[in-house]
Amino acid sequence: MEKNTIKILNQLKEKEDAVILAHYYVDSEIQEIADYIGDSFFLAQLASKLENKTIVMAGVYFMGESIKILNPDKNVLLVDKTADCPMAHMITKEKIEAMRNKYDDLAVVCYINSTANIKALSDVCVTSSNALKIVENLEEKNIFFIPDGNLARYVAKSVQSKNVIANDGYCPVHNNIDVNELKELKSKFPKAKVLAHPECHSDILSLADFIGSTKGIIKMAKEDDCQEFIIATEKGISYMLEKECPNKNFHFIDSMICHDMKLNSVSKIIDALKSKATEVIVDKSIVDKAKIPLNRMLEMGQ
Ligand code: 13P
Ligand code: SF4
């Protein structure tokens, strides 16, 4: 990174009392300059503890929206407002209402990769790092898990005491991996352990040695004795894996690139701090409803 760019960024951060948060999937140039890097749960938890007036979220739209819902008095800026997670939109109000009409004893469990409007219709939010724990501890027997079908099926398999009904949403990056590509990597690197994100299709998860959130994958790679890993999640995670485990070898699946995460850049962070044109605005009536399932997640997901 050029010294002048860092200087401009630091001046703007000071002027706006700003802090930069980044998800593990954004480009390494951002992870290098971010104040905090983490998975969805860490970032949602962290934002409420920060004293800064302005929070810049380098990630996708729902991440900025969640931070705004939990911190309505702060200025939350996205880096690129068009960076959106397609899965966040793969559920409708009508589907939720139909499920609520069908079951009396139902909890609508909403993956954080969802729009604020959908969170507002849900009972509790989860991320991939706390979904199992939260679903296990809910009173309701029937769980409508939205929007991610793959994560829902993974939860259903792991928490057999519940009737988990899976929605049919999916992450295009994790769902569309060719299982033969993973099999080829496994035969090329037979000593490597497979670490996979639960958004992957069950054909991929059945070949994994460990299934977990981005933070969970990094922790496992660091703590496991194995020296070589095949990583089944978005390739941006390579920055932190290589930083945390400089002597270990990682193999990635070439197609696993989230183009929305890649819309973030350092020059756009500078533009956002200058213009504030990417500020996240959430209607007060939605904030009031959506903060309930998000706060419940923060309490239950610890
Ligand atoms: P994590 O919560 O594991 O960081 O995942 C976020 C995400 O978007 C995965 O595709
Ligand atoms: Fe959404 Fe998938 Fe990108 Fe994550 S990797 S932000 S789930 S499209």
Ligand 1 contacts CB of residue 130 (under 6 A):
no
- Whether residue 261 contacts residue 26, with contact meaning beta carbons closer than 8 Å, is answered with yes
Confidence category of residue 294, pLDDT binned at 50, 70, 90: very high
Residues 164 and 296 grouped into a single domain = yes
Q: What is the residue with the minimal CA distance to atom 6 of ligand 1?
A: 40
146 vs 148: CA distance, rounded Å: 5
List Cβ neighbours of 280 (8 Å cut-off, separation of 6 or more).
Answer: 57, 61, 64, 65, 67, 68, 76, 77, 78
pLDDT digits (tens, 9 = 90+) for 130-163: 999 999 999 999 999 999 999 999 999 999 999 9
> Do 155 and 189 belong to one domain?
no
Residues 78 and 208 in one domain: no
Report the residue among 24, 41, 113 best suited for mutation to probe ligand 2: largest number of ligand atoms under 8 A from its CB.
113
Regarding whether 232 and 217 lie in a shared domain, the answer is yes
- If asked whether residues 161 and 297 sit together in one domain, one would say yes
CATH number for the domain spanning 123: value is 3.40.50.10800
Asked whether residue 72 falls in the same domain as residue 131, the answer is no
Pocket test for ligand 2, best of 260, 262, 264 (most atoms within 8 A of CB): 260
Provide the domain limits for residue 132. 87-171+287-301
- Within 8 A by CB and 6+ apart from 62, the residues are 84, 85, 88, 112, 113, 114, 115, 116
Q: Residue range 269-277: average pLDDT?
A: 98
Tell me the C-alpha distance between 125 and 293, whole Å: 5
Atom 1, ligand 2: residue with shortest CA distance: 85
Q: 173 CB under 6 A from ligand 2?
A: yes
Q: Do 13 and 67 fall within a single domain?
A: yes
Q: Is the CB of 39 under 6 A from ligand 1?
A: yes
- The minimum-distance atom of ligand 2 relative to the CA of 173 is 2
The token pair that represents 175 in the structure block: 């769902």
Indicate if the alpha-carbon torsion angle 131, 245, 6, 257 is positive or negative: negative
- Regarding the beta carbon of 55 and ligand 2, being less than 6 Å apart is answered no
- Same-domain status, 215 and 70: no
Count of the separate structural domains present in the chain = 3
Summarised one tens digit per residue, pLDDT across range 69-85 is 999 999 999 999 999 99
pLDDT of residue 136: 98
Ligand 1 binding pocket includes 213 (Cβ within 6 Å): yes
**In the predicted model, what is the mean pLDDT of residues 256-269?**
98
pLDDT digits (tens, 9 = 90+) for 208-250: 999 999 999 999 999 999 999 999 999 999 999 999 999 999 9
Given a cut of 90, is residue 1 above it in pLDDT?
no
Same domain, 70 and 206: no
ipTM over 0.90: yes
Residue 302's pLDDT is what? 80
The arithmetic mean of pLDDT across residues 255-280, rounded, is 98
Query: Average of pLDDT values for 177-193?
Result: 97
171 lines ligand 2 (CB under 6 A): yes
Return the residue whose CA atom lies nearest to atom 6 of ligand 2.
85
Element (H, E) at 203: helix 202-205
**Residues 91-137: pLDDT tens digits?**
999 999 999 999 999 999 999 999 999 999 999 999 999 999 999 99
pTM of the model: 0.97
Is 171 near ligand 1, meaning CB less than 6 Å away?
yes
